[in-house]
Amino acid sequence: MTDGRFEVFLRFVAGLSSPRSAWILEEFLGKFPHQTMCRVSDWVKGEVKRQIRNAGSEFDKRRLLNTMHYLFESQNPALAQQTLGSVETLSFCDMGLTPIDCVVLSHVIRLCDTMKHLNLVSCHIQCEGLLRLGPVLHKCQRLRLYRVGLTDSGAEDLASSLSTNHTVTELCLSHNSLTDRCVPALRRLILTLPRLELISLWENKFSPTGKKELRSLQEPRPGLRVTV
């Protein structure tokens, strides 16, 4: 099926591995055998591991995201950690992500032990998607948010989300809609990221004055590059 109905069915099946969901549905469908729930969990685990290894093309990335939806529906933190706990890089560049996708991605990243690189270039998540991801961005060491529809208010939210991040080294925010109004938020953000080595702000809407102010933040930080 190409209309998404089968995908919805698979997410429902994945949800059956959640004891809470199974308990709610018992009244209508009867008690689920424990063996069945274990088989569903094993199937979800296998699907996620298979897609992680083969997430090259846009089609493969979409399939990986779908398997993450299965993990989300299962509401099984132990299962998510077993399958994704050691993952260090997630890339969904050039894919349109919905706010629901961002909720699922946030759930997955929260359960990852390490997340060195999150690449969301040209994902068009905009401010709503960024809000959904905000609670987990502090875990990322390299964060790429090119062409995601980031605005000045989004920059404020980003500064708040990353305020406790003491590991981020690279932050790419090029090709968005940032203006001089968010310069104070960016200044605050830069000053609170002790290990930041690069912040890329190309192709935004800063005035010459705004660009100069942003570049001046390099002066007290010899290891920092601000490209704008």
What pLDDT sits at residue 199? 95
pLDDT for 2 beyond 60 = no
Q: What is the pTM of this model?
A: 0.80
Q: Are residues 93 and 204 located together in one domain of the fold?
A: yes
Nearest-5° Cα angle at 222, 217 to 227:
50
- In 3D, which of 59, 58, 65 has the Cα closest to residue 104? 65
Domain finish residue from 44, 59, 84: 84
Q: Are residues 40 and 95 located together in one domain of the fold?
A: no
Q: Give Cα 228 to chain centroid, integer Å.
A: 24
Q: Provide the domain count of the chain.
A: 2
Q: Which CATH number does the domain housing residue 190 bear?
A: 3.80.10.10
Distance CA(149)–CA(198), nearest Å, equals 20
What pLDDT sits at residue 1? 45
Nearest-5° Cα angle at 143, 137 to 148:
95
Distance CA(189)–CA(165), nearest Å, equals 10
pLDDT for 186 beyond 90 = yes
Question: What integer is the mean pLDDT of 33-45?
Answer: 72
Each residue of 80-102: pLDDT tens digit?
787 877 788 888 988 889 999 99
Q: Are 125 and 102 in contact (CB under 8 A)?
A: yes
Domain finish residue from 22, 49, 84: 84
Sign of the dihedral through C-alpha 194, 182, 228, 132: positive
Count of CB atoms within 10 A of residue 34's CB? 10
Return the half-sphere exposure (C-beta side, CA atoms, 13 A cut-off) of residue 50.
9
Q: Are 123 and 148 in contact (CB under 8 A)?
A: yes
List phi, psi (to 5°) of 158: -65, -45
Each residue of 127-146: pLDDT tens digit?
888 889 988 888 888 999 99
Owning domain of residue 24: 1-84
Give the sheet arrangement for strand 115-119, strand by strand: 89-91, 115-119, 140-144, 170-172, 198-200, 225-227
pLDDT for 73 beyond 50 = yes
Distance CA(80)–CA(45), nearest Å, equals 8
Domain finish residue from 84, 102, 125: 84
Q: Are residues 120 and 77 located together in one domain of the fold?
A: no
**Which residue(s) pair with 143 in the sheet?**
118, 171
Each residue of 201-223: pLDDT tens digit?
999 999 999 999 999 999 888 88
Q: Are residues 71 and 40 located together in one domain of the fold?
A: yes
Q: Are 160 and 127 in contact (CB under 8 A)?
A: no
What pLDDT sits at residue 32? 64
